[in-house]
Amino acid sequence: MTTAAKKSTVVFDEFFEMGLEDHVSPFLTPQSRKWGVNIMLRSSILSAILLAAAFFLRFIPNLEPLSNFCLMGVYFFAGVPALIESIEDIFKLELNIDVLMTLAAFASVLIGSPMEGGMLLVLFALSGSMEDAVTEKAKGAISSLYKLSPSTAAVVEEDGALHDLSIKDIAPGTKILIKAGEVVPLDGEVVEGASSVNLVHLTGENMPVAKALGDQVPAGGKNLEGSLTLRVTRPSSESTVARIIKLVTIAQDAKPRIQRWFDSVSEKYAAVVIFLTAFFAISFPFLFNLPFLGEEGSLYRSIAFLIAASPCALIIATPIAYLSAISACARKGILLKGGVILDAIEKCTIIAFDKTGTLTTGELKLAGIESLQDAGDENLALSIAYALERNAVHPIARALTDYAAGMGIKPAKLSSFKSIPGYGLKGECEVGSQKVPVAIGSPEHIIPDISQEKARLLETLAKEAKKNGQVLAVLLIGSDAVLFRFEDILRADMAETIHSLKKTGDWRLMILTGDHRENAQKIAEGLKLDEYYAELKPEDKLRIVSDLSVKEGLIMVGDGINDAPALARASVGISMGKGASTTAIEAADVVLLNDNLNKLSWLMAKARQTKSIVTQNLVLAAAVILLATTPALLGYVPLWLAVVLHEGGTILVGLNALRLLK
């Protein structure tokens, strides 16, 4: 089997395993896939255009046949799909509001009001398709997680030959080669080579971790420097990436759905209304000596009752309220993946923040330079470190070179240079008239090359730096050592944001991070947060978030792949937009497009306003139904007035919902 064929097989396998929407099927051509996106929404919009055309053409002489033709299009594009789904529901013995709306629309044709029925179908189709378009994103996080890890790996044979093989066909014990710059496809143990691996998808900390003989390397990590030969320890179905996928899936399945109560009520409501409609139509001729047909007949009154009792206002106006709020949020740079998220926000009492990339910028900054001898030339140390680190790509190198360049310092002249994977950088530098060996790396790698006295001092300084949440790099110039301290800095407006949140409500604020406990404590105390949890793995975050979401309602704010399960499981997951991983963005319910955390308090206020508007709409919609249904049965409300009351109530609650656009 060719490499291309193997990759194709993996694509098909993933499509079936993930249960994605049909329009992303690998069986479809690109053109067919394009037409399949949001096809129900497109059909609904077309039906609305045809309905408008049918209405206006009725008033133009000799164009009534064309008006009827457009109306037939409405019933075809909006009515036929609804009718088919309703028939399927009836065969399944499921009576819901969808069935009720479809019956009301088609029943209006029997009493000579096809235009009103078409309007019901269009409104019904638009609301349903918009909800589908939003919820279609639910499985996007799993899709991006699959893309995180390669689908093939380079297998090392006994004779040293390499060949690509699908990761699903690679058994534990197999040797695989990961070159510099490649992503680790499977969990494994290093059997040859040394390098630094970025494990941001697990820890959330954008820092390289040295890996050498005997070390475990998880799938999804990016190999930064040298090549690594791994002995696979777990099959693809049990890899670290697969485990995170499973966590996200469980979290999404367990995520509470605020609309469940409405679905339960709607089924009972629809069954009662349908039963009453049939009962009134059959019994009224016997009970009240009414004719069955005609404008005073039981069938006419029953259909008027059915239309008046159809909860269009409940189904249409409530989503309009949410959509209005969503539009207002979008103008503030806040993307909400569904209106019910606003209800969930309103019920939460806890806000949990990830640290790196959320409370902080996620980028290291040089915080200090310290010589381990009595005196040292800082500019010389910076010049040499600049010359070495400009050849590297990790965060420490970027922070150091940016600082040196900003200070106007030129890189020293190196006569030799060597990158040692898993150790650091070495070379020779001209200092005065002499060539001096230089090196830069983490303290544990430099300690063996310095005197015992300096080594003890360096160990003490390293422990203090860890408590302060700092990262260290040590520059060796001959026998002299210079210590560079780096730290991840808070976002400029975080203190103001936290203060604003505390003013808007009695929030319980906390940090959930994979970083060291000392660093988490420092930031929590600095921002005056209520509590913190540190050194957390993805499953630890998920456990804490799950417990608190069930007990009190929790909003999780994060940005990393390691945050994805917690973002999906939280009552509300909020992701940063600019620097966040694709997985975090797609797993979250809310995305702050401009990383504008200062808008959180505004979002909380908008959620409360939305809850108030929705409550008003529900009361108004229920009042319209009560005022129209009983008089319709008694014959005091003719069919046209029942339709006017029904549609008028829908318009009123719709206009009320549009207030959320402000």
Residues with active-site annotation: 354
For residue 514, the 8-state DSSP code is S
Q: Which amino acid is at 345?
A: I
Q: What is the DSSP string of 416-471?
A: EEEEETTTEEEEEEEETTEEEEEEEE-HHHHGGGS-HHHHHHHHHHHHHHHHTTEE
CA–CA separation, 635 and 295 (whole Å):
9
Contact 135, 143 (CB under 8 A): no
Closest CA to 244 of 326, 169, 187, 189: 187
Which is it for strands 424-431 and 434-441: parallel, antiparallel or unpaired?
A: antiparallel
CA–CA separation, 117 and 79 (whole Å):
9
Which is it for strands 508-512 and 350-353: parallel, antiparallel or unpaired?
A: parallel
Contact 187, 233 (CB under 8 A): yes
Two structure tokens written together for 269: 């409501």
CA–CA separation, 333 and 576 (whole Å):
11
Backbone φ, ψ for residue 332 (5° rounding): -95, 5
Q: What angle do CA 61, 66, 71 make, to 5 degrees?
A: 120
Backbone φ, ψ for residue 235 (5° rounding): -70, 165
Note the Cα 571 to chain centre separation in Å: 13
